[in-house]
Amino acid sequence: MRMEKEKIPKIMRGRKLSEQQLDARRRGLEQYLEKVCAVRVIAESDVMQEFLTDSDDEQGSISPVDLKVLLPDREVVTVTMKKNSNTEEVYFAVIDKIRMSKSVAKYFYLFEIVEYNFERKLQPSEYPHNLYIQNYSTATPTCLCVRKWLFSPACELTLASDEQATTFIFWQAVDEVNRGHIHAEDRLYQLKAQQDSSRKHEYLRLARELAGYGEVVFPHCSCDSRKEGHVVASIGSSGFKLQACREDGGMQPQVVDFSWSIIKEWEVDDDSMAFCFQYQRPEKNPRWVKIFSPYGCAIHILTGLFREDTGGKQMGRYRRMTCGQPLATPSVYHLLPLSVTALVPPTRLLQQWNENITLTGAATHHP
């Protein structure tokens, strides 16, 4: 197959460039790299990776770059940041540019768009520009997005008077309906009829009544309770759910629900890259289930939070795992920052998480 030849932006010689000219050339080079790196073999080559990460001078790490961030309403905002800007700095630049109030901004955060309609919540100390480099080969305009970081419908209702927050929550709900995470079933036609920003309050009023609203759905993975196929794990206020699917992610009808009252213990085992939990149904012996997911730490923490929020005891534990390695690295829901009063994380657990302490025994929750 013949490829169209991409032209490198012309180099202007013989005179000093103005700030506008330098900015135009920088943008031209970035657009050129995006087109060239759309070819995966080029993007992943050692030469290209070295070029993207290397710097010829000591100022390379602080040189400005444009970062595109996808907003929940599907608009793309561009912020100019230093290469070594962390997640917190980039997020604050985004909310400043879109003029979001700080009282609302605490209910949203910066995420990375990853596999299977899944967004990974970034840790405050990560460098979003590095993610840009790793994702040059993708066809999407950006790998960064702003998403809602709020699980309490009651708390969500307090934002109804903020037009921007409600619009963002509305479009995220539309995405989750389209993905099948919110189960519209016979209400789908009614939702589609209200799928307009001018009717966002009516749409959300209906969506909040449906199964799956406010749940966190993880990418499909293998499970020791299935000899063939995978499962899709989801977590919400009603409990923990495993839905059967094929190894390619195609959904199957079998669903097993575990209410929080029957989940007795849970742990993360990094030896097998798995999240494990024990459940016991009435008049049955307790049983363990093991889910082989790279997002085990995220599932573990959310399990503790949701179960504690419904009045259960915190009986989670880490087995043979140092927080931060390796399961914490891809964790989608690292718990800082989190300002949602309806779901306050266990202080002791967070302290140990951030200090990279190996945890054994039961996790202690906040007073």
Q: What is the pLDDT of residues 260-308, one digit of tens each?
A: 999 999 998 877 789 999 999 999 999 999 999 988 888 988 888 787 7
Burial of 288 (0-12, 13-18, 19+ CB in 10 A): middle
Where does CATH 2.30.29.30 sit in the chain?
216-354
Per-residue confidence (pLDDT) for residue 6, from 0 to 100:
55
Q: What is the pLDDT of residues 123-136, one digit of tens each?
A: 888 899 888 777 76
User: Contact 327/274 with Cβ under 8 angstroms?
Assistant: no
Residue with tokens 């000591």: 58
Q: What is the pLDDT of residues 152-178, one digit of tens each?
A: 888 899 999 999 999 999 999 999 999
**What's domain 19-53+60-100+109-146's architecture?**
Roll (3.10)
CATH, domain range 216-354: 2.30.29.30
Per-residue confidence (pLDDT) for residue 5, from 0 to 100:
54
Strand order in the sheet with 239-245: 216-217, 230-236, 239-245, 251-259
Where does CATH 3.10.20.90 sit in the chain?
19-53+60-100+109-146
Spatial separation of the C-alpha atoms in residues 177 and 245, rounded to whole Å: 19
What percent of the chain clears pLDDT 70, i.e. is strictly above it?
71
For CA atoms 166, 111, 222, 293, give the dihedral sign.
Answer: negative
Spatial separation of the C-alpha atoms in residues 88 and 52, rounded to whole Å: 23
Q: What is the DSSP letter of 200?
A: H
Residue 209's alpha-carbon distances to 3, 182, 348, in angstroms, are 50, 10, 34
Residue 274's alpha-carbon distances to 224, 225, 329, 331, 335, in angstroms, are 10, 13, 14, 13, 19
SS3 173: helix
pLDDT by 10s per residue, the chain, length 367: 444 555 555 555 556 666 666 667 777 777 777 777 777 777 777 777 767 665 544 554 567 888 999 999 999 999 999 988 999 999 999 999 999 999 999 999 999 988 768 898 888 888 998 887 777 655 567 889 999 988 888 889 999 999 999 999 999 999 999 998 999 989 999 999 999 989 999 999 999 999 999 999 999 999 999 989 999 999 988 899 999 999 998 999 999 999 999 999 999 887 778 999 999 999 999 999 999 998 888 898 888 878 776 554 545 444 433 333 333 322 333 333 333 222 333 333 333 333 332 222 223 222 2
